């Protein structure tokens, strides 16, 4: 931003915010996953979440950062957007197989240039996300988790960092591990409902947004995990029927039982998605 936020799974990114200035609306990338020890589990820089939950009494603190850029031509004018942002996410376990997390995004710079001239530069807090994860089933070696969440309108609405409404969503998550946890596959299916404060926003944006993604992880060396991720989603802008789609690759290194570091690159596969995003961060585990 995902989240992005860093890149995040809820669709409230720069392209959605800039729709009024000519940039296409786009989905903002993803609620970043929880990090567990031992077997491979989805975690930053992945966008796709895993079915695991944090143990009761444990706390994980993520600091996720991203830089993204996107270029388009609108009416003969080259429009380039760049975003530097960050997200602090705190996760803990409430009960067995039940966890809760709060994510707070901050945009350091969201700038737009037209033919090289700066026309807009925004900074400030975005909408916080509160999520609950409940692992409710294990079937044929596959873990299934339900993750309801809500976007809280804490961002600066007057500069476009918030839609000014509570936005509920839910994701169904499945995880399958192989070879004693050295490999894993994760699949997500998500839905989000958006309300808008103005008639102009309601006319130009979709209310119901769907997303799906698939990710894989593999232990390459002791502590080093390679990741790949692919996803697509409904584009928020009613002006296009093209889906937002991305591909991501990266690595995560488990320094010790208390610290992970990660980095990745996300590429936009369709026009509504940002061209390129660089993701990097750390996870502290207590």
User: According to the model, what pLDDT value does residue 216 have?
Assistant: 98
Confidence of residue 15 (pLDDT cuts 50, 70, 90): low
Given a cut of 80, whether residue 86 has pLDDT beyond it is: yes
Q: Contact, 104 vs 128, CB < 8 A?
A: yes
DSSP string, 61-98: EEEEEEEEEEEEEETTEEEEEEEEEEEEEEEEEEETTE
- Better pLDDT: 1 or 133: 133
Spacing of C-alpha 107 from chain mean position: 14
pLDDT tens digits, residue range 175-213?
999 999 899 999 999 999 999 999 999 999 999 999 999
Confidence of residue 74 (pLDDT cuts 50, 70, 90): confident
Most confidently predicted of 8-22, 29-43, 192-206: 192-206
User: According to the model, what pLDDT value does residue 112 have?
Assistant: 95
Considering only CA atoms, which of 260, 283, 286, 281 is closest in space to residue 93?
286
Given a cut of 70, whether residue 20 has pLDDT beyond it is: no
What's the whole-model pTM score?
Answer: 0.86
Burial letters for 73-94: b for 16+ Cβ neighbours within 10 Å, e otherwise?
Answer: eeeeeebbbbbbbbbbbebbbe
Q: Contact, 128 vs 5, CB < 8 A?
A: no
The mean pLDDT value for 106-114 works out to 96
Residue 241's DSSP bridge partners are none
User: According to the model, what pLDDT value does residue 39 have?
Assistant: 44
Cα–Cα distance for residue pair 125/105, rounded to 1 Å: 6
User: What's the start-to-end Cα distance of the chain, in Å?
Assistant: 27
Complete domains list, the chain, with CATH: 14-285 (2.40.160.40)
Cα–Cα distance for residue pair 233/243, rounded to 1 Å: 6
Considering only CA atoms, which of 176, 169, 159 is closest in space to residue 122?
159
- Better pLDDT: 64 or 28: 64
């Amino acid at each position: 931003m995902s989240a992005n936020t860093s890149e995040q799974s809820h669709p409230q990114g720069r392209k959605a915010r800039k729709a009024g200035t000519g940039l296409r609306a786009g989905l903002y990338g993803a609620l970043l996953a929880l990090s567990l020890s031992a077997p491979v589990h989805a975690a930053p820089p992945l966008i796709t979440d895993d079915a695991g939950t944090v143990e009761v009494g444990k706390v994980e603190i993520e600091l996720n950062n991203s830089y993204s850029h996107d270029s388009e031509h609108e009416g003969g004018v080259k429009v380039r957007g760049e975003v530097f942002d960050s997200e602090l996410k705190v996760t803990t376990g409430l009960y067995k197989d039940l966890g809760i997390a709060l994510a707070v995004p901050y945009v350091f710079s969201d700038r737009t240039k037209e033919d090289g001239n700066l026309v807009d530069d925004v900074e400030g807090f975005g909408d916080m996300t509160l999520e609950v994860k409940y692992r409710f089933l294990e079937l044929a070696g596959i873990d299934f988790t339900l993750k309801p969440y809500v976007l809280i309108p804490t961002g600066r609405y007057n500069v476009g960092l918030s839609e000014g409404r509570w936005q509920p969503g839910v994701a169904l998550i499945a995880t399958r591990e192989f070879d004693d946890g050295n490999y894993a596959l994760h699949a997500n299916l998500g839905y989000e409902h958006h309300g808008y404060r103005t008639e102009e926003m309601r006319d130009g944006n979709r209310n119901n947004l769907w997303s799906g993604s698939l990710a894989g992880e593999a232990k390459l060396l002791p502590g080093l995990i390679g990741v790949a991720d692919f996803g697509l989603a409904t584009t928020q802008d009613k002006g296009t029927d093209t889906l937002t789609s991305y591909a991501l690759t990266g690595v995560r290194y488990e320094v010790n039982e208390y610290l992970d570091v990660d980095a990745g690159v996300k590429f936009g596969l369709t026009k509504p998605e940002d061209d390129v995003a660089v993701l990097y961060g750390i996870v502290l585990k207590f």
